[in-house]
Chains A and B, each alone.
Chain A
Amino acid sequence: MDDEFLYRLRKRPPPEFAARLKAALDRRAPVHRFSPRTRFVRGIAAAALVGAAAAFAVLMLSMPGLFRANGDGAGTAEPPTVARDKGEGGSTGAVKPQLQSNAGGTVKPAGGGAPSAAKPSAGSGAPAAETPDSDADAEEGSALASAPPGVAVARSRARTGVSISSQAYRYVQETAEGAGVDSAFFIESTADGMEAFCGDVRGVAATPAIVRFGRLSAAELAACATAPLGEIIEIKIGYDALVLGRSHAYAAFPLSVRQVFLALAREVPDDRDQARVTPNRNRSWSDIDPALPYEPIDVVGPAADSVLGESLITLLEAGCRSFPELLALEQSDDVRYERVCRTLRDDSAYDEMSEGFELLQRIETYPNAFGVVSFAFFDGNRDRLDAAPLGGVEPSLEVLADGSYPASRTLYLYVRERALAARADVRQLVDFLVSSDFALTPPAEDERREIRALLSEASSRL
């Protein structure tokens, strides 16, 4: 049993299957290239379409009640909107994302900002998540719909899972799975996740919720919320933050993100020519910067493949990107970029050790040692640990919240209100993510109270 053995388990697809599938795909219309002429023709067609739509709209407005076809509101046509905070939004579209509107039309931002007006959800039609994309298929025509007998006819289904950005995947998937949360997750780039969540031009949403690091911008949220898919609830789940801690007895000293990179990366730029990288030979902090103490670099921290290790790698990468020559590698040689910017050194300067009693003992026994720990661990051991300010910022819940601490990211969940009503697995996921069982550092208690109140309010409306 080795790599070769596993590779030998592969087999070629049956030729008849390959041929039939190819023939079916070939029958699809070729990808269309817009020429100036087609753009012009399309422009004319679009103008005609807009005109017809306007005439239709006038007709509809002159016949009030036409859309009130049934009592449950499924026929209402008013799309939900996102409230605009006058202080920040206005006509520029720089709208602060809102947590949620309530039935009365007021909205409270997650961080306790000023309430603002918002329209309540329009209609109570079928939950967005339940909307199959098979209608989209029917519109475009299935590639395999006319396949010969024997060809597996692919039928697109409504997606049932939650879209999760590839960066956030491990944080959520592993802990949720461990807690028995019954949600399927789709790993997607942030852009694909947004497309799946916000729906395509036909307003068909493919996923009821997205989980991602970083808050949606006002423009993104506004664009997404205007799709006729129901209102969006924004929930700040928590912070993924790490701390470089040292024993109180020896006190930590301030470090920059770049200095952390130079201390812990396997390869670093050459002093004389920063376009060249060499194995990291920095042994003392003063090797990195003469202003730093003449003390050996001795760091204990997570394995690179752990969740906290991912955070450390992300911090290294941020430091690496402060060198323009290394940043340029991302475009010119991405394999080398990965190796240089995202690889921990593996010599005696860095020892893998999970946070816990043993790590605390190590830090207290060895005066020069720093420990890389999560903010939550540090916060629980403030009596024994001293944190190194990073980029001039000392870690605290306040700086995690305002985003000024460089070794922190905020995880957000965006979920359609209707999906909360219709989907037990989505409710279960939301409950889990806002519970104390989830591994990230949670927001401050007042923010959590606000989130709980929001969810409770949303539930009462459903």
Chain B
Amino acid sequence: MQWAPAEEVDWDAVYADYLPRIYNYFRFRLGVETDVEDLTARTFEKAWRSRSRYRRDLAAFSTWLFRIAHNVGIDHLRARREHLPIEAADDAAAEGTPEEAAERASDLARLAELAARFSERDRELIALKYGAGLSNRTIAGLTGLSETNVGTILHRLVVTLRAQW
């Protein structure tokens, strides 16, 4: 097994390419703009801190980076859930602040509202595909699904969204 020298990776190019992907992954994942910058920054910080340990033989770069993003997102969603009392969680879903109400009026918020009925895995697939703009192949590598399955599931999800939009 070969360790890929970290210098072989052009980190400036990585940043330019992946910043919009990670940023939009979190937008789609959360359905709101709040905390997106913080989570994006946290993801890149973790990646930069561990970049000398990035092993090209083990995972494609995007897979590696999005695993970090996924885990940052999970931590965030879990912490948010833990800090919201049950009643507050209901309120957040139903009404929320005027700012949140405005966000919900947007297409992104509408998407988040509909996607809330999907499973965790399906919401993740939507964020990876349409937020991050990843290929089905890369998503397959991230989720353990086959490439064909990713395509099939996403197609089914878009049909469902279209019917409910």
Contacts and interface: CB of A to CB of B under 8 A. Distances in A.
Interface of A: 1-3, 5-7, 9-14, 17-18, 21-22, 24-25, 28, 31-33, 137, 140, 142-144, 151-157, 159-161, 165-170, 173-174, 177, 184-189, 191-192, 304-305, 309-310, 313, 334-335, 338-339, 342-344
Contact of B49 (A13, A14, A140, A167): A140
A335 B148 CA distance: 11
Contacts, number: 174
Contact of A21 (B11, B41, B78): B41
Nearest to B43: A154
A186 B74 CA distance: 7
6 contacts: A9-B108, A31-B6, A137-B49, A151-B41, A191-B55, A305-B146
Contact of B45 (A18, A32, A143): A143
Given A1-B162, A10-B24, A166-B142, A33 B79 contact: no
A305 B133 contact: no
Contacts of A21: 19, 40-41, 44
A2 B148 contact: no
Nearest to B38: A152
A186 to B, nearest CB: 5
B101 interface: no
Interface string B1-38: 00001110001000100011001100110000000011
B130 A3 contact: yes
A28 B44 CA distance: 12
Contact of B142 (A10, A152, A187): A187
B107 interface: yes
Given A9-B111, A12-B20, A156 B55 contact: no
A124 to B, nearest CB: 26
B100 interface: no
A344 B6 CA distance: 38
A122 B158 CA distance: 53
B75 A33 contact: no
A33 B48 contact: no
Contacts of A342: 146-148
Interface string B90-130: 00000000000000000110010000000111000010011
A10 B20 contact: yes
Interface in B31-83: 37-38, 40-42, 44-46, 48-49, 51-52, 55, 58-59, 63, 67, 70-71, 74-75, 77-79
